[in-house]
Amino acid sequence: MKIFEIFSKKNRILLKAMVSTDFKLRYQQSILGYVWSVLKPLMLFAIMYMVFVRFLKFGADVPHFAVALLLGIILWNFFNETTTGGMTSIVGHGDLLRKIHFSKYVVVIASSMSALINFSINFVVVVIFALVNGVQPSWSNLLIIPLVLELYILALGIAFFLSAAYVNLRDLSPIWEVLMQAGFYATPIIYPISMIASKAGDYGPILAKWDLILNPIAQIVQDARHVLIDPANPTIWQWESNILLAGWPVLFSIIIFIGGLYYFTIKSKHFAELV
């Protein structure tokens, strides 16, 4: 596929410049500047923690649930930032597309790399918070790397699709915003997956298992909590013995990436004419 053109010297230079410029402009004329990349998820965490953990007692029986909540929030924010930023990236760089010939993939990937930088900064905060809360580090923590890669592939695939569709359909932005809000509450982030298993009667464990199978982000968040915070956090691999069902979220993420890339490739031929 033409995406491999991104590894050419010209595209690598352009990608580096776009990532640097985007990250600098994001907090331009802001008093706190880059500090907001950490403050925003922390402020959201503080609100969620007070409402759902302190008052509603979500995750009261889950060790280190405050750390699990913060981890879930930054993983979701990474997904949200990658898809939302990627959606408007092509339209936002219309002038560049009309003036310079380069691989259009660079624009979407540059947007996703900015989100990845933010995630990396926030992840350091999570690690510090986890250590302060008594979470014991282990070699299994390194399994977070393939999980982040899975999330990135899923988010980038969706970003490719959204950015191509947004060129013709500007109503996609508010629609996606609503879907993201619904997805946040449908994913076990502010509540543990064990709450679904225990609160839904006899069907609770079944509902919890299928939530992890059908929702790749739920699987990623839960697996991340398992490898980083507490092995007692159940994962899809513990609830489902069928390897095809257990591995479906990973396969689904790959399918979404390939499908989004293919759709983007077809539509990218006419971007310069439409933006």
Report pLDDT for 198. Answer: 74
What's the rounded Cα separation, in Å, for the pair 260 and 155?
10
Q: Return averaged pLDDT per consecutive 10 residues of the chain, 275 residues in all.
A: 57 75 66 66 82 76 86 94 92 75 82 89 91 89 95 96 91 93 91 77 76 90 92 80 88 95 88 68
With 0-12 CB in 10 A as exposed, 13-18 as middle and 19+ as buried, what is 171? exposed
pLDDT score for 5: 57
Domain boundaries, the chain: 2-274
Cα 70-119-124 angle, rounded to 5 deg: 65
Work out the end-to-end distance of the chain between its first and last CA atoms, rounded to an integer number of angstroms. Answer: 24
pLDDT given at position 29: 59
pTM reported for the whole predicted model = 0.88
Contact 151, 257 (CB under 8 A): no
Q: Compute the distance between CA of residue 162 and CA of residue 83 in angstroms, rounded to an integer.
A: 7
Cβ neighbours of residue 150 under 8 Å, at least 6 residues apart?
A: 216, 220, 249, 250, 253
Q: How far apart are CA 154 and CA 192, in angstroms?
A: 22
Which residue type occupies 254? I
* pLDDT attached to residue 224: 94
